[in-house]
Structure 1
Amino acid sequence: MTETAIAWDTYSRQRPERRPVNGRGETTWFNWTQYQDHGPGAELLELPAGGRVLDLGCGKGGNAAHLAGLGMTAVGVDVSPRQLAAARERWGATPGLELHQAEAVGFLALGREGFDAVYSVYGALWFTDPARLLPAIRERLRPGGRLVFSQRPPVDGCYGCQASYIPRGDDEDPLVVKRWDFEPEAWTRLLHEHGYADVDARVLAAPPGNRTIGTLIVRARA
């Protein structure tokens, strides 16, 4: 197992399972943000009926399972065996859902079939060099297809490749993974440079209360 897979397996053990139902009583739902019952849903993907969609960094599979339940072919990719085991245990019988263990760029390079949308929710778009990932996605998006991703906004002054630390035991050093932090304007420039159009990058405010960190949501079209 690669160091990256070990890191995300460790992260998986620290994350709670998705609730059985959300605040509206739904058993599946789409969530772009780090907050429950907050923000837009799958409509950002602008998928046609029966469309084919790719989740890069699908984690435990809740978003992809929701799209499959809407009649899409939803393909989820994650590097972590533990994350995918949890996804298969809960959602594995869902018609239209495919789950693959792979690194994002490698998966995109091996396939040929196109996608109507590619998305990432605090996933591979945040943790993969965009110079490698953006052109690989562009090759697999069908004409007019959507790329949509969300992640935490950058800390002021900390842009580009940064380090994320995943804690382990008290007597162990944390695991380190790379992430790529950019302000909305920088993401817009990067996407245009890699051939994307209709780019919209903005920070969605956190829900009311004491929370202050919003969610950066970026949309672009092939």
Structure 2
Amino acid sequence: MREQDAGAWDVWGAARAGRKERNAAGAVTWFNWTQWPDHGPDEKVIGDLCGARVLDLGCGSGGNLAHLAALGSEAVGVDISPAQVAKARERWPHLDVRQQTAEDFLAADTDEYTAVYSVFGAAWFTDPVELLPLAHTRLAPGGVFAFSHNPPALAGCYGPQASQIQPRERGAEPLYVKRWDYEPGRWAEILQQAGFTDVTAEVIPPPEGKRTGTLLVRGVRGR
């Protein structure tokens, strides 16, 4: 993901309604892998998190990260958008959130993480050839890398695709960023090629009345 994409993600964040104060169960923090509130698996996808050091690539306004911190994790978030980072710091002032591209952060960081994850974040919008080896290096042995995003929009259109972000202003030109679309089986192969083991890739069905599921991919760094 390029630094010049920051403005596009500021525009995207400004159009978002923001995270609810409480979910359907009344909790003030929760974890969502899917685009549908209160739907799908939770943080157990990335294992036992009490005392773990975790990294969110593309943390946005910080809701998932705040939940992991509430569970006792040492949680670090990275996002390219200054506006999104500002939102995260305002709502969750205790969080460690950095304004940087995921690949630059991973390349410069020297810490080890129990889990590295991305929810509709940098793992979708960064070339996996660049990102996955960096994520693998930063994981402790046995650590989990997981990410989620939409399945490919069009059958046969795989690899880098243009993703449009429409500004709110009437008549403003749309902005474009790149995303990487692959079918589950191909994502599994890409993770294995980057050194991950125990790889799974699946599409979580959408809730009733919705059309789009969520692709969830998970791999482990070997011990």
Query: Normalised by the size of structure 2, how large is the TM-score?
Result: 0.96
Poorly superposed stretches of 4+, deviation over 4 Å:
none
Correspondences of 1:145-184 after superposition (within 5 Å):
145-155=143-153, 156-168=155-167, 169-184=169-184
Distance in 2, Cα, partners of 1:150 & 1:78: 16
Residues 1:217 and 2:208 are matched in the alignment? no
The one-letter amino acid of 1:184's match is P
Q: How many residues align?
A: 218
Q: Corresponding residue for 1:54?
A: 55
Deviation at 1:170, TM superposition (A): 2.6
Write out per-residue CA displacement over residues 115-162 of structure 1, whole angstroms, 9 at most, x where no aligned residue. Answer: 000000000000000000000001100001000100000021211000
Deviation at 1:3, TM superposition (A): 2.4
Contact 2:49 2:72 in 1 (8 A): no
For structure 1, which runs of at least 5 residues remain unmatched after alignment? none
Contact 1:47 1:116 in 2 (8 A): no
The one-letter amino acid of 1:137's match is A
Q: Corresponding residue for 1:18?
A: 19
Contact 1:77 1:104 in 2 (8 A): yes
Distance in 2, Cα, partners of 1:2 & 1:143: 30
Deviation at 1:92, TM superposition (A): 1.0
For structure 2, which runs of at least 5 residues remain unmatched after alignment? none
Contact 1:47 1:117 in 2 (8 A): no
SS in 2 for 1:66: helix
Write out per-residue CA displacement over residues 55-82 of structure 1, whole angstroms, 9 at most, x where no aligned residue. Answer: 0000000000000011100100000000
SS in 2 for 1:108: helix
Deviation at 1:212, TM superposition (A): 1.2
Identity %: 51
SS in 2 for 1:186: helix
Deviation at 1:191, TM superposition (A): 0.6
Distance in 1, Cα, partners of 2:29 & 2:19: 10
Q: Corresponding residue for 2:75?
A: 74
SS in 1 for 2:84: helix
Distance in 1, Cα, partners of 2:79 & 2:164: 19
Query: Normalised by the size of structure 1, how large is the TM-score?
Result: 0.96
Pairing partner for 2:117 from 116, 119, 134: 119
CA RMSD of aligned residues (A): 1.1
